[in-house]
Structure 1
Amino acid sequence: MEAKRAQESYTEMNELVLPNDTNTFGNLMGGRLLYWMDICSAMAAQKHCKNVVVTASVDNVSFKRSIRLGEVVTIQAQVTRAFNTSVEVRMEIFAQNLPLGIKEKSNEAYYTFVAIDENSRPIPVPQVQPETELECKLHNEALQRRQMRLILAGKLKPENAVELKSLVELFDHKG
């Protein structure tokens, strides 16, 4: 299976925050944002895999700033790395106040998807060919994020997490 350029999976989605999307403080509800993020990242994963995918994990969703009623949410998603049957998708989320012309990053997250066949069985996915410096960095770090996900899911013993061990050793040498 031929590798695909990371940029080929790039997907962007925009949503206007309406009253039904907000809590009593006029802020976008976190669950609504997670829903939009799942849709956008699934589109990026399907674009890369050229196949149906299902969400396998949601991790490291960090909320840096509230998103207010009337702002436009822009979600940018791109596959960072492919494994055997799964892909990791990184998202950056921005909130924009159109009248003021202010656009700020509000969130960042990683989702993992598994490509499946018509019988809901995992199938192989194309590898990712990173090109830019950032794509290469995210691609290389994806192994550490994957090992952390597998440890937390009880699918990998910490002593077998080679990539994480090398990261810990790096910090031990700096300390």
Structure 2
Amino acid sequence: MKPTQEEIQHLIAKSKTSIFKAVFPNTTNHYDTLFGGTAMQLMDEVAFITATRFTRKKVVTVSSDRIDFKVPIPAGTIIELVGVVSRVGNTSLDVTVEIYIEEMYSEKREQAITGSFSFVALDENKKPTPIF
């Protein structure tokens, strides 16, 4: 039985995922900012966790639609990655992930990166299966 819109909104709220990381020199490039590939890997991980928490099924990434790098992320900062389900289909769902920069020794915080990831739920035969 398909859940109501209210139940879906409740699941979206419950599955919101937030992870904090420190940006250390081993994750930065020659400009002393976070590697773009490292940021994308972290975003895909948070999106996967969010999708799994929402569906409670096996899911795989099928695409990343767009990733916008708005502000470079310097070494020596803290980042927060926030994943939220943004669309629910029959066998697939989209997750939006945002990365925020926080300075370690001040209250300054700003959004640096936004991306969208699509997932499909799989059954035991690795075939698409309904989310609900």
Tell me, yes or no, whether TM beats 0.5: yes
Match of 1:39 in 2: 45
Query: Per the alignment, in what secondary structure is the counterpart of residue 40 of structure 2?
Result: helix
Aligned-pair CA distance for 1:84 = 1.3
TM-score by length of 1: 0.69
Structure 2 residue corresponding to 1:63, chosen from 65, 69, 86 = 69
Alignment length (residue pairs):
126
Gaps of 5+ in 1: 127-175
Kindly indicate whether structure 1 or structure 2 has the higher relative contact order, using CA contacts under 8 Å at least 6 residues apart: 2
The superposition leaves residues 50-83 of structure 1 with CA deviations (integer Å, 9 ceiling, x where unpaired) of 1111001101210110000011111111111211
Query: Larger % of helix: which?
Result: 1
Q: AA paired with 1:34?
A: M
Misfit runs of 4+, over 6 Å = none
Determine the C-alpha separation between the residues in 2 that align with 1:118 and 1:13.
Answer: 29
Mapping for residues 1-175 of structure 1, pairs under 5 Å? 1-3=1-3, 4-5=8-9, 6-126=12-132
The superposition leaves residues 130-167 of structure 1 with CA deviations (integer Å, 9 ceiling, x where unpaired) of xxxxxxxxxxxxxxxxxxxxxxxxxxxxxxxxxxxxxx
Gaps of 5+ in 2: none
Query: Larger % of strand: which?
Result: 2
TM-score by length of 2: 0.90
Q: AA paired with 1:78?
A: V
Determine the C-alpha separation between the residues in 1 that align with 2:126 and 2:87.
Answer: 22
Q: AA paired with 2:79?
A: V
Aligned-pair CA distance for 1:22 = 0.3
Aligned-pair CA distance for 1:2 = 3.6
Determine the C-alpha separation between the residues in 2 that align with 1:2 and 1:68.
Answer: 45
Determine the C-alpha separation between the residues in 1 that align with 2:62 and 2:81.
Answer: 19
Determine the C-alpha separation between the residues in 2 that align with 1:62 and 1:18.
Answer: 22
Determine the C-alpha separation between the residues in 1 that align with 2:81 and 2:61.
Answer: 17
Determine the C-alpha separation between the residues in 2 that align with 1:21 and 1:59.
Answer: 24
Identity %: 32
Determine the C-alpha separation between the residues in 1 that align with 2:86 and 2:107.
Answer: 30
